[in-house]
Structure formats: C-alpha cells, structure tokens
Amino acid sequence: MERTHIEADKTIAKRANLQSYENTKELFTWDHALQELSQAPSGKWNAAYECIDRHVAEGYGDKKALLFTDGDHDETFTFAEVKHITDGYAHVLKESGVKVGDRVFIFLPKSPACYFTILAAIKAGAIAGPLFEAFMEDAVRERMQDCEAQYLITDENLVKRVPFDDVPSLLKTWDIEEFDREAQQYEDADSPIVWLDEQDGMLIHYTSGSTGKPKGVLHAQKVLPHHLITGKYVLDVHDDDVYWCTSHPGWVTGSVYGVFAPWLNRATVVIHGGRFDAKEWYSLIERFGVTIWYSAPTAFRMLMSEGDLYKDFNLTSLRHLLSVGEPLNPEVIYWAKDVFNARIHDTWWMTETGGHLIVNFPSALIKPGSMGRAFPGVTVGILDENNEPLPANEVGKLAVKAPWPGLMKEIWKNKEKFDSYFTDNGWYLSGDTARIDEDGYVFFEGRDDDLIKTAGEQVGPFEVESKLIEHPAVAEAGVIGKPDELRGHIIKAFITLRHGYSDYDGLTEEIRQFVKTKLAAHAAPREIEIVEELPKTKISGKILRRLLKQQEIEKMQKEVASEWQKKNA
C-alpha cells in the first residue's frame, strides 16, 4: 500500500511544546519574547548572555551544557563552566580592543573551543564570523576580505590556510591555545557582557554562492526571539533533552540550531568532532542518550546505505529527528520510522531567513515529500512570474511575507543584492520553486534554475531523485536536464550504488523502468550514469546539480569538437 502520511505519536504529541497547530495563530510576538528572554524588557540584549549566563543566574549552573566527543575522548561542561570560560575569552577580546560591530573570525574545527569563541565574540559586542573547517585559502580570503575582518582565532593547523598578506584589515590573530592562556588572568573579573541594541550585528555567514561570489549575510541581535521560539516549538527542547546537531557552526544550521536555539532553551548540547562515521554516530546516540537529532538528508542517506548496522545499537532514546538543507526523500522518512521508531521532521529555511519558516511539529501529522507548513504567524505564498499569489497546488516561486524576526539585516555592503530579494508587494523571494496543497503543506520542487523542461513538460529533479532512491540498488541520485536538440532537455540521472551492490548488465535499464512505472514515463531518466560519488557543497552537503549540468555540457562540447576535428583532419 502506498504510504502518504505519518500521524503524530500520541505520547510524544502530548508532551510537545506546541500542542495544536490548527489553533495557534502566531508565536513570534513581542509578548512571547518578553516572557522568554530575561533581558528583553530593558531593550538591551546580548545573545550570549541569554544562551548561557542567564541559566546560571536562574540556578541552573550545574546543569550539563555540553557533551563533547571526538571518538577517542569525551569532555563535559556545565553552564557555570561555559559561563566562566566565555567570560574569560570575552575579556581577552575587549582588552585587545574589540568593539561593538567589529568582525571576529573563528576558524576552528568542530569543538567546544569553536562554540566558546563564537559566544565570547558576541559577549564582547562583536560580530562573530565562523568559518567552516574544510575551507581552503581562497574561501578564507574571500570572506575575510569582503567584510574586512579585524580579529581571528584559529589553531596551528588551520592557520596555514590564512592568506595574511591579502587581509590588511586584520589587526590580531590568536592561536586558540595562546588565547586560552591569556584568558587565565581574568579568573575573578566582572562580567564582560556588552549590552546591545536589537539592530547590532551578531553573526555573519557567507552563503554557499553556487553562482557568483559568496554574500555576507548579517544577522542582528533582533533574531533572538526567532531562535528561541523555533527552538522551543520545532526542536521541541525540554529540560531533560540531549540534543545533537551534526553541522559545523560555519554553516548557518550549525550556528543557529547548533549553538543558539538549543542553548536559549537550556538544552544539553552534543558536539561530535571529526567526520561522518556511521558506527561512531550510532554509538554516540546510544552512549549520550541523544533524544533530538538534527542532521541533513545526505547524512541520513549515508546511514541508510549502511543497511543493518543500526541493529548493533540501542537507539531508543531518540524522540524525533530533524532535517534541513536539501529535499528530504519520503523513502528516508519511512526508513527512519522503521529503524529508529521516530519521525524525521523536515524544516525549510535559508541563511538569509535567519531561522525556520516552514516546519513540522511533533504534535502534527507529517506528509513525507512535503517540507511541512508555515510556522504560525509566517505567511508563505507561491507566486507567478508577476509576483502575484497562485492558487493551491500550482507550482511557482516560493515566497514569504516580509518581515519576520530572523530575517537578515543586510547583505554586507551590498544594498542592491539585499533589495533584489524583495518584491514591490512585500514578498521575500527565496529562489526556490514549490507548491502548497489545500492543507497548507509545502512541497519543494527545486531551485529556480534546477527545474527541467523536457518535451514541453516541467519536471522537478527532487521527485525523480526520490523515486530513484526507492530502488534497492540506489543510494543517492542527482538529476539534471541535459540539453537535447529534439526535446529541449532530456532527464539525466547520476546515481551512486548502495553498499553491496555493483553495476551489472541491465541494471540502469531496470532502474529506468522502475521510475517509468512508479512515477511517470516522461519523468524517467533517458540516461543514467553510475558514479563513485556526487559533487556536493563542502559545507552543507547539498548535491550540486548545477555543477553536474555544467560538466555534462562541457563533455558534450568536447565530443562535438572532436567530431569536428575528425571530419576536418
């Protein structure tokens, strides 16, 4: 029987912070923020204070704030300890001249020190610029140059990738060990917190920028209610939760939902240092008793392709999982329900939106294939080419009525780019295409430029990819439109095989027939190529369809050129 939805588990729904989506009109209210943010009434905030110091002031100093493991050794920190460390770090920054609005870059592996330095920069009133640990020299240069970074905290390995001569704005660089030593002298100093206005900057993230140069998205302090309230209702953090977000804070998911949203809600946060390793990940969940787990489709698909490995572990602590960054294939949700007995809640948002906008709640039904519904109080629409709203179930541009609390404050020194996100009639344009069904569930179709027109029909790559990975041999799939004289485009799929499968005669044809009979004849890929791996963004693991397409076009051009040479030789 075709499965279409998964109801909420009754026990879990009863405990969820949001009991009923249907009766909830709005959650991002100032009144709500006042109740939840201790310093909001004064009109001056500091995100780091609300994440850490506030819990100590309210008597939770001994509660575990952080559990770290790198596979070899573990470390634990209480909220009081995190306050102490980040206070010392903030003093070092202030003594070195860091002022409100200065850019302090952090280039460290996923580790407690990475989290602590981000918070310390914010305590000192600066804008934190976390850099992803896999960045090479060009990526570091582009970002630090663009916003004229003045301070940098890094370590002895990563420092080799910092092009000092090209960043003349840089005033001081610390090695993290030296930084830590400098902080010792502030053992008994007063609180270093710098109180800030809601429009003061807090974080700068550069978007992946698959076209053009990366853009510096600036989040201001005013995002706090967004982080806090989505952390409470979407992550659904309670006091006994152990929460693990697998992303590095260099990606917005790793900062907003790795650091801020969980800690604003007083969660015990897990950090895993090092790369993906299925065994290590499962054993971490078992050992730390992870209850809420936030990751990305690419990671879930990798676990899925490991087959029965999960059976060696006790994963019953998991209450729900969350996913972001890429379309979440229904197959993956059903797999998770079967093997973890927990649902994966998809969430849609962007670096620019500052926090969740389309979500699933533990208390509500999910429709696999859909990203969920608008967060209460957010208006999501599907627009036509004139930016006018379309009726239910029609495919168009995914847009959001502006503003909302998390919305970026600016694109660093690029007003023109910032303005280009907004229409004259008040919508924010995401650059994604989607449709919304009669119940308000939003279905992702693709990035604007990923949509495929084949023989007059419009096909979204996501639907084809999801069908492909339902085939037992297929682990991952990237689908593109390959230029074709006759049809405009034909559908071409690049696939990787699951563990234990290898290519055999007729396999690709079998897969093609599978999509043809299960989805639609016109959506079945005419070409299927088996590859070792798919190109993905380094930072968030998104499949780079544009790159696949570009490579395909280059290959075609080479073939044409060599044909021509043969003929004219």
Q: Which residues contribute to the site for ligand 6R9 (CB under 6 A)?
A: 207-208, 252-253, 324-327, 346-351, 371, 430-432, 444, 447, 540
Nearer to ligand 6R9, 17 or 430 (CB): 430
Nearer to ligand 6R9, 68 or 349 (CB): 349
Distance in angstroms (rounded) separating the CA atoms of residues 65 and 79: 5
Cβ at position 315, least distance to ligand 6R9 in Å: 23
Cβ at position 446, least distance to ligand 6R9 in Å: 8
Q: Is 535 left (phi over 0), alpha (psi -120 to 50) or beta?
A: beta
Nearer to ligand 6R9, 238 or 546 (CB): 546
Q: What is the 3-state secondary structure (H, E, C) of 385-454?
A: CCCCECCCCCCEEEEEECCCCCCCCEECCCHHHHHCCECCCCEEEEEEEEEECCCCCEEEEEEHHHCEEE
Cβ at position 216, least distance to ligand 6R9 in Å: 13
Read off the amino acid at residue 566: K
For residue 379, give every residue at least 6 positions away whose Cβ sits within 8 Å of its Cβ, in sequence order, or none.
Answer: 400, 401
Nearer to ligand 6R9, 216 or 289 (CB): 216
Distance in angstroms (rounded) separating the CA atoms of residues 166 and 164: 5
Long-range contacts formed by 533-537: CB under 8 A, 24+ apart:
533/496, 534/476, 534/477, 534/478, 534/494, 534/496, 535/478, 536/298, 537/208, 537/210
Grouping H, G, I as helix, E, B as strand and the rest as coil, residue 64 is: strand
Nearer to ligand 6R9, 252 or 495 (CB): 252
Nearer to ligand 6R9, 317 or 323 (CB): 323
Place of tokens 């570091």: 140
For residue 100, give every residue at least 6 positions away whose Cβ sits within 8 Å of its Cβ, in sequence order, or none.
Answer: 125, 126, 194, 196, 200
Nearer to ligand 6R9, 53 or 133 (CB): 133
Nearer to ligand 6R9, 241 or 432 (CB): 432
Cβ at position 378, least distance to ligand 6R9 in Å: 15
Nearer to ligand 6R9, 173 or 360 (CB): 360
| Sequential DSSP letters for 325-389 | SS---HHHHHHHHHHHS-EEEE-B--GGG-S-SEE--TTS-B-TTS-BEEPTT--EEEE-TTSPB
Nearer to ligand 6R9, 88 or 258 (CB): 258
Distances (CA, A) of 429 to 209, 356, 401, 441, 471: 16, 15, 9, 18, 35
Nearer to ligand 6R9, 120 or 296 (CB): 296
Cβ at position 474, least distance to ligand 6R9 in Å: 19
Cβ at position 102, least distance to ligand 6R9 in Å: 24
Distances (CA, A) of 172 to 128, 154, 256: 15, 11, 26
Read off the amino acid at residue 28: F
Cβ at position 253, least distance to ligand 6R9 in Å: 5
Closest residue to ligand 6R9 in the complex (CB):
351
Distances (CA, A) of 300 to 7, 199, 328: 21, 37, 9
Cβ at position 217, least distance to ligand 6R9 in Å: 8
Using DSSP bridges, classify how beta strands 396-401 and 380-383 pair: parallel, antiparallel or unpaired.
antiparallel
Nearer to ligand 6R9, 250 or 376 (CB): 250
Distance in angstroms (rounded) separating the CA atoms of residues 136 and 163: 10
Give the angle subtended at the CA of 180 by the CAs of 176 and 182, to the nearest 5°. 115
Evaluate whether 211 touches 546 at the Cβ level (below 8 Å): yes
